[in-house]
Structure formats: structure tokens, C-alpha cells
Chains A and B, each alone.
Chain A
Amino acid sequence: QKEVEQDPGPLSVPEGAIVSLNCTYSNSAFQYFMWYRQYSRKGPELLMYTYSSGNKEDGRFTAQVDKSSKYISLFIRDSQPSDSATYLCAMSEGGSYIPTFGRGTSLIVHP
């Protein structure tokens, strides 16, 4: 069992839909959680960074962490074709320099 599981997709939604992207993990020591967006042939770009459980909102994006279930989510409201990309989750233990990445979920938002 991998430490971080992420459905590769692709997830195809119509423009304007609410998108839910998820990761599950097995290591209860993870405390820091990140979401990255990666466009084709580009490097990953940090979207959200959270510590421990709870929600964090930034514009159309909401990151949610449920440590009791070992489950994190990224919600995208009013999705746009420009949101079409691969979304990677990442997480790390306290004091660590090396995050563990999921393999990414491909999202396609069609007009």
C-alpha cells in the first residue's frame, strides 16, 4: 500500500461545476498538507498549504483536511477550462524536508 493514494482520473466536468479532488494516506504522522496544480509540460505550482486538520479557503479553492479519516480534499468552485491540469497532493511529517507526493489527478473542464 502506497503512503499516499490519489485517483489518476481523468476527471471530466462541465464548466461551472464544483470539483472535488481527494487523497488518502496511511501515515498518521503527516501534519502538513499541500495541493499543487501542474499544467502540461510545466512544473507543479503550489495552490494550497495547510497544517493539521480543518479548512482553508483561497478564492475558488478550498482545502480540507480530516486527520481522523486520513483524507484530504481540494474543492474548486465554478470550475473553468483554465483549471484543466493535473492536481497533486503532498504531505509531510513534522520536521521533515521531504514531502510525500500523490501521483496526481488529471482534471478536464470542458466548455
Chain B
Amino acid sequence: SQTIHQWPATLVQPVGSPLSLECTVEGTSNPNLYWYRQAAGRGLQLLFYSVGIGQISSEVPQNLSASRPQDRQFILSSKKLLLSDSGFYLCAWSGTANSPLHFGNGTRLTVT
């Protein structure tokens, strides 16, 4: 069966520091991969998605970037964190188009 791993679970970082959140999927090949941010009362905001290695689409211009160095690995990065980057970050994967997304357990990021 497929599993998704996301770490760390919580992170406290100072303003201006770099960020790297990692997500890996097991048990499937060539998954579609997603990064979402969830703010209280504001729903899920799609940040990036990737339908294959080297193919990353950005939905929201901001202080973040994403990379997919391997088929089942998706990384969310920032060179310099802002206070507004605080939030709950979720990685997800899906199979074919229209197949449902499956989420990891998220990373709660607090920028101080």
C-alpha cells in the first residue's frame, strides 16, 4: 500500500532563516505531488504541484520554492522566511488525473 511521509511535524524558525520541508511517497511510482498551506479559517491554499520530475507548477507567487529531485520526493524551500510564512504545510500525492489526493500529517511552521 502507498504511504506518505512528511517531516518535521513541528518547526520553529526565526525570521530570515532558510527552510526545507521534505515529503516522500512509498508504494507508487510517478505520483502527482502537491504542497498546500492551511491557515485557520482560510481553507487549503495550493502552493505547488508536480506531475513529474522537472515539472513543477507554482500557484501562488511568494517567498517559497519547490523541487522534485527524485520521483517520489518533493521538497518545499525558502531562502529567507517571513513572519507571514507561518502556517500548517501539507504534502499530498495522487495517481492519475481525477484520482483523490492523499495527505501527509503536515508540518506546523512557526516563524518568530
Nearest CB in chain A: distance from B33 CB, A: 10
Instruction: Check if A49 sits within 8 Å of B100, measured CB to CB.
Output: yes
Nearest CB in chain B: distance from A64 CB, A: 17
From DSSP, what is the main secondary structure of chain A's interface residues?
A: loop
- Decide if B15 is an interface residue (CB 8 Å cutoff): no
**Neighbouring B residues of A98 by C-beta, 8 Å:** 46, 49
Instruction: Check if A94 sits within 8 Å of B98, measured CB to CB.
Output: yes
Nearest CB in chain B: distance from A56 CB, A: 13
**Neighbouring A residues of B51 by C-beta, 8 Å:** 97
Interface size on B, residues (CB 8 A): 23
Stretch from A19-27, A39-47, A77-85 that touches the partner: A39-47
Interface string of B36-48 (1 = CB under 8 A from A): 0000011110100
Instruction: Check if B32 sits within 8 Å of A97, measured CB to CB.
Output: yes
Interface size on A, residues (CB 8 A): 25
**Neighbouring A residues of B90 by C-beta, 8 Å:** 43-44
Instruction: Check if A95 sits within 8 Å of B98, measured CB to CB.
Output: yes
Which residue in B49, B88, B98 is a CB contact (below 8 Å) of A32?
Answer: B98
**Neighbouring B residues of A32 by C-beta, 8 Å:** 98, 100
- Decide if A110 is an interface residue (CB 8 Å cutoff): no
Which of B32, B51, B105 has most A Cβ within 10 Å?
B105
CA distance A71 to B49 in the complex (A): 28
Chain A to chain B: the 3 pairs with minimum beta-carbon distance, closest first: A43-B103, A103-B43, A101-B44
Q: A43-B103, A44-B44, A97-B49 are in contact. List 19 more A-B contacts (CB 8 A).
A: A32-B98, A34-B101, A41-B88, A41-B106, A41-B108, A42-B105, A43-B6, A44-B90, A45-B103, A46-B100, A46-B101, A88-B44, A90-B101, A92-B98, A95-B97, A96-B97, A97-B32, A97-B94, A103-B41
